[in-house]
């Protein structure tokens, strides 16, 4: 059984990959188990040296990595380079902070001594998506490795080349043998990996459906899990907002062709400035065109797969049928999708209730703070929200009342190695990055000496 990768810009075949045979899986798992027994004994200095070497190699090979992303999933070169640079930043962050994150924590007790200490769990299995093929892997694998765990990776099939590239980087850096293994496996075999008693934890970034299936399996196995399952982020603009800032942040939605879980999806704009915002945003997106992601000048590439573009077209069509107005009409050629602007998007429309993964701007007006909060919270997702206002009272109220994993004021939501990342509701369980990210797959061991 094999998988054929396709260039989303011209639909040409890139490569073919043979899936791992099921009979070979036990040795893969056994090798990971052996690697863990050795790696867990490493000290923080040894781990930090490895992470810094990975960072250096990523930066030295960022142009090759960006070219591969452009070919496999359509990311423009400049954005691919920025992604790899962010990966290097993450490596350096955990090289510098992992020891302090996992230091013993003393507990004041009436008699004797007590403390908490952190110990790795073992083999961690990561199931990762295609939209940020380097960053998604690095942000789970690096803190897990820094904490003494070892990694099994199942990447999205359309970026198998990126997965192999990452494997090569880890090997070149001197990662102990089998401490990071990239598995070219089917979904069926992934289930077997999750069920293996050798695997001690699972992390998945992907769809709600995939997360539900994996969560069901880990629930039966009683294994810890981290899920990041997307978002339908509100982008809330009040009348006193800095319009130039708002527009620059709104335009950032077009990064990666809008294929980001934390990209703004629902633009909630106060009625007093809605028309001004629409006019200026329309001018910006009218100047965008889909071009070859391998060109250095390209700002907008295709969607990552043809079926994704077809799904987005269907979602927009249903939203228009529900009463939305196409101020900039949806346009698609194969996987190439041009920016689209919809107004009059009501809270019962597909574009409001579902996650639209692409360059589609959906405008909904509000009149009061209460209405803005109600609209923002009218979603089963809860990954992050952006709020634009200079009013501290409004800022504080929305930070308190928005049901999201993150609230960013006067900025779009961004992931950062320093900051915990994750959502509530159907956006997921657990946190990546920051201190919680490295502790996600640690045994929090309580010690008491009488």
Q: 233: left (phi > 0), else alpha (psi -120 to 50), else beta?
A: beta
Same domain? For 328 and 221 the reply is no
CATH of the domain at 79: 3.40.605.10
Residue 422 lies in a domain: no
> Which of 387, 298, 406 lies closest to 76, judged by CA?
298
What's the mean per-residue pLDDT of the chain? 98
d(CA 417, CA 92): 9
pLDDT, tens only, 65-97: 999 999 999 999 999 999 999 999 999 999 999
- Quote the domain boundaries for residue 55: 2-228+427-449
pLDDT, tens only, 168-204: 999 999 999 999 999 999 999 999 999 999 999 999 9
Q: How far is CA 130 from the centre of its chain?
A: 9
d(CA 393, CA 375): 19
- Residues 6 or more apart from 369 whose CB is under 8 A from it? 394, 397, 398
Question: Average pLDDT of 157-167?
Answer: 99
Same domain? For 80 and 175 the reply is yes
Does residue 1 have a pLDDT over 90? Answer: no
**Number of neighbours of residue 16 by Cβ within 10 angstroms:** 10
d(CA 396, CA 391): 9
Does residue 347 have a pLDDT over 90? Answer: yes
Secondary structure of 284-353 in the HEC alphabet? HHHCCCCCCCCCCCCCCCCCCCHHHHHHHHHHHHHHHHCCCEEEECCCEECCEECCEEEECCCCCCHHHH
Residue 120 lies in a domain: yes
Does residue 219 have a pLDDT over 90? Answer: yes
pLDDT of res. 376: 99
pLDDT, tens only, 373-393: 999 999 999 999 999 999 999
368-382 burial by CB neighbour count: b if 16+ within 10 A, else e?
ebeebbebbebbebb
> Which of 356, 339, 261 lies closest to 301, judged by CA?
339
Give phi and psi for 127, each to the nearest 5: -110, 115
Residue 409 lies in a domain: yes
pLDDT of res. 387: 99
pLDDT, tens only, 278-328: 999 999 999 999 999 999 999 999 999 999 999 999 999 999 999 999 999
Sign (positive/negative) of CA torsion 146, 147, 148, 151?
negative
Same domain? For 239 and 329 the reply is yes
Same domain? For 198 and 123 the reply is yes
Residue 421 lies in a domain: no
Q: Which helix (H) or strand (E) covers residue 131, if one does?
A: none
pLDDT of res. 277: 99
Same domain? For 247 and 266 the reply is yes
Residue 346 lies in a domain: yes
CATH of the domain at 349: 3.40.309.10
- Residues 6 or more apart from 198 whose CB is under 8 A from it? 29, 30, 32, 33, 122, 123
Residue 258 lies in a domain: yes
Question: Average pLDDT of 247-265?
Answer: 98
- Residues 6 or more apart from 283 whose CB is under 8 A from it? none
pLDDT of res. 75: 99
pLDDT, tens only, 49-59: 999 999 999 99
**Number of neighbours of residue 76 by Cβ within 10 angstroms:** 25
Same domain? For 218 and 246 the reply is no
Tokens, residue 413: 């939501």
Same domain? For 62 and 201 the reply is yes
Same domain? For 223 and 262 the reply is no
Sign (positive/negative) of CA torsion 123, 124, 127, 129?
negative
DSSP β-ladder status, 340-343 and 113-120: unpaired
pLDDT of res. 223: 98
Same domain? For 351 and 367 the reply is yes
pLDDT, tens only, 118-156: 999 999 999 999 999 999 999 999 999 999 999 999 999
- Residues 6 or more apart from 277 whose CB is under 8 A from it? 237, 243, 246, 247, 250, 267, 269, 363
pLDDT band at residue 271 under the 50/70/90 scheme: very high
Same domain? For 8 and 71 the reply is yes
Question: Average pLDDT of 412-434?
Answer: 98
Marked catalytic residue, from 83, 228, 365, 432 = 228
d(CA 5, CA 15): 5
CA angle, 370 as apex, 367 and 371 as ends, to 5°?
50
Residue 359 lies in a domain: yes
Question: Average pLDDT of 406-421?
Answer: 98
Would you give the end-to-end CA distance of the chain in angstroms?
59
Does residue 14 have a pLDDT over 90? Answer: yes
pLDDT of res. 4: 97
Same domain? For 154 and 184 the reply is yes
Structure letter (DSSP) for residue 122: S
Tokens, residue 154: 């199942």
Same domain? For 202 and 57 the reply is yes
- Number of structural domains (the chain) is 2
CA angle, 164 as apex, 24 and 212 as ends, to 5°?
70
Percent above pLDDT 90 for the chain:
100
pLDDT, tens only, 99-118: 999 999 999 999 999 999 99
Flag whether the pTM goes above 0.75: yes
Tokens, residue 23: 């009979």
Question: Is 326 an annotated catalytic residue?
Answer: no
Residue 82 CB burial class (10 angstroms; 0-12, 13-18, ≥19): middle
């Amino acid at each position: 059984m094999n998988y054929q990768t396709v260039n989303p810009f011209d639909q040409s075949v890139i490569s073919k990959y043979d899936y791992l045979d099921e009979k070979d899986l036990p040795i893969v798992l056994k090798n990971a188990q052996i690697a863990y027994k050795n790696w867990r004994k490493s000290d923080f200095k040894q781990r930090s040296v490895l992470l810094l070497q990975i960072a250096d190699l990523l930066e030295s090979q960022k142009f090759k990595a960006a070219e591969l992303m452009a070919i496999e999933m359509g990311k423009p070169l400049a954005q691919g380079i920025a992604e790899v640079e962010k990966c290097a930043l993450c490596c350096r962050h955990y090289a510098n902070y992992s020891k302090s994150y996992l230091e013993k924590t003393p507990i004041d007790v009436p008699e004797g001594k007590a403390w908490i200490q952190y110990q790795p769990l073992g083999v961690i299995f990561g199931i990762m998506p295609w939209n940020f093929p380097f960053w998604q892997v690095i942000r789970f694998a690096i803190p897990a490795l820094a904490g003494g765990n070892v990694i099994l990776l199942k990447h999205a099939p359309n970026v198998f080349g990126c997965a192999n590239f990452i494997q090569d980087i880890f090997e070149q850096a001197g990662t102990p043998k089998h401490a990071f293994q990239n598995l070219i496996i089917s979904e069926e075999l992934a289930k077997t990996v999750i069920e293996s008693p050798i695997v001690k934890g699972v992390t998945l970034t992907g769809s709600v459906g995939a997360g539900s299936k994996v969560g069901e399996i880990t629930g039966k196995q009683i294994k810890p899990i981290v899920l990041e399952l997307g978002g339908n982020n509100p982008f809330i603009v009040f009348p006193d907002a800095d319009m130039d800032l708002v527009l620059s942040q709104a335009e950032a939605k077009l990064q990666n062709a809008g294929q980001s879980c934390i990209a703004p999806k629902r633009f909630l704009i106060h009625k007093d400035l809605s028309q001004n915002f629409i006019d200026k945003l329309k001018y910006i997106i009218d100047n965008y065109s889909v071009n070859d992601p391998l060109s250095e000048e390209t700002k907008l590439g295709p969607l990552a797969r043809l079926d994704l573009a077809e799904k987005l077209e269907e979602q927009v069509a249903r939203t228009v049928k529900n009463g939305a107005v196409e101020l900039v009409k949806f346009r698609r050629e194969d996987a190439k999708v041009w920016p689209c602007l919809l107004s009059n998007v009501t809270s019962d429309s597909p574009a409001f209730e579902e996650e639209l993964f692409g360059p589609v701007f959906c405008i909904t007006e509000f009149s009061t703070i209460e209405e803005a909060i109600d609209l923002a919270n009218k979603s089963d997702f809860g990954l992050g929200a952006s709020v634009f206002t200079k009013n501290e009272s409004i800022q504080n109220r929305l930070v308190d009342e928005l049901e999201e994993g993150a609230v960013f004021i006067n900025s779009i939501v961004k992931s950062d190695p320093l900051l915990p990342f994750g959502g509530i509701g159907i956006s997921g369980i657990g946190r990546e990055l920051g201190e919680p990210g490295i502790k996600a797959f640690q045994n929090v061991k309580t010690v008491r000496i009488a």
